[in-house]
Amino acid sequence: MSVAEETGPAEDLPSGYGGAGAWPSAPAGVGTEETPAIPFAEPGRPAKELMTRSRLLRSGIMEAAAAPNLCRQAAKRVFDALREEVVREQIATMPLTRIKETTQGRLRLGPIENAGYRTVGAAAAAGHHRLQQIPGVGPHTATQVVAAARQLQVAMVKDVRVRFDPDSRPRLHAALLAELYAYEVAQRSVSPLTRDLQALAASLDSVMSKAAPTASRLRMFFTGRSKKEEARNALGQLDSLMRAPATWATASNLNAALAALGRPRPGADFLWDDYEARAVAYNGLLIEIGDLPTDVDAGQGFVPSDIEQRVHQHPARPVLHAGIIARLSGLRSQVRPRAEAGDPGG
């Protein structure tokens, strides 16, 4: 099963976004045997109902438009957390003498190591207050050691390469796969609709505020003649816009996109299987959310060249290359930049 699932029917969406309760099977004013024609809006209750449907549609457009970026940000947060975790594990075993590389060897580390702080991670966690309590370690040395340790940690976070581990399947790895999955679904569902959604949103925005007074007869009564005429004209434009076949087509596509966005995410087992089959595609998503540079190795899922060459000797099943490569390499594909994005459909 592909990450980029087919979008579902409009009925899956809550009625507030144009599902069964807000968007009949034919445009308003046309009518079918199942769905009576909706009369053209007049000031008062009809206008209020039209404004409600228009606002719900506009809200749905906003939600869909924001989804890809929100999913990208969520994936980036998990990716950053995973990189920091990898670095913490590395500096926890890294000899303290490594910080001399950032200080040209000017620091006296012997007393600190003798006190039990023998790794970069231990020194960074101790902090300068605890280190300066060690005999032979002054405030300046303690501050310099901690600053150097943290500087090294920051530099490592920027350069660290994260590896998904399908064997032990760590929790944070699965969380990143889930966010990448959600980001791909959002991109696939919303991106093809972007132009139509932007155009419809602009059309709605141009008339909704002007038509707002027509939702209340009392407000219309106390509105001046010119403003009243403007509101009536805007109501007519809004009514025509909401009945337009193009609006209905866009709303139907929007329903399907929002339904896809609202589906529960798959479990960890599915995500790991999908990663095994489509490692290259996931690596491509990681390029996008991590703003990583591309390189040639990543396009093949970061596997040894001999394995990659063996896989490409089977041209009959090219779509399975990524999955075969991942399996032959012991499922150790690196999550790092790749040269070209894989097909979201698998």
**Dist CA 97 CA 83 (whole Å):** 23
pTM above 0.75, yes or no: no
- DSSP for 213-241? GGG-HHHHHTS-HHHHHHHHHHHHHHHHH
Crossing angle (nearest 10°) for helices 268-277 and 279-290: 100
pLDDT for position 169: 93
* pLDDT at residue 310 is higher than 90: no
* Sequence letter at residue 160: V
Q: Is the pLDDT of residue 324 over 70?
A: no
- Residue 153: its pLDDT value, please? 84
Neighbours of 118 (CB within 10 A): 17
Decide: 172 and 81 in contact? Cβ < 8 Å.
yes
Which pLDDT band, with edges at 50, 70 and 90, does 319 fall under? very low
Output the average pLDDT for the chain.
76
In the predicted model, is pLDDT for residue 18 greater than 70? Answer: no
Closest to 91 measured CA to CA, from 168, 167, 146: 146
Record the tokens describing residue 110, joined without a space: 């012997």
3-state secondary structure of 30: coil
Burial (Cβ within 10 Å: 0-12, 13-18, ≥19) of residue 163: middle
Q: What angle do CA 179, 180, 181 make, to 5 degrees?
A: 90
Which pLDDT does position 110 carry in this prediction? 87
- Identify whether the C-beta of residue 160 lies closer than 8 Å to the C-beta of residue 89: no
Identify the pLDDT of residue 341.
35
Residues 6+ apart with CB under 8 A from 12: 19, 255, 259, 262
pLDDT digits (tens, 9 = 90+) for 180-205: 999 999 999 999 999 999 999 999 99
What mean pLDDT comes out for the span 216-238? 86
Q: What is the pLDDT of residue 292?
A: 66
pLDDT tens per residue, range 326-345: 333 333 333 333 333 333 44
Domains of the chain: 10-86+164-335 (no CATH), 88-161 (1.10.150.20)
Q: In a 10 Å sphere around its CB, with 0-12 CB exposed, 13-18 middle and 19+ buried, how is residue 252 labelled?
A: middle
pLDDT (mean) for 100-115: 79
Work out the average pLDDT over 296-324. 38
Tell me: pLDDT of 267 over 80.
Answer: yes
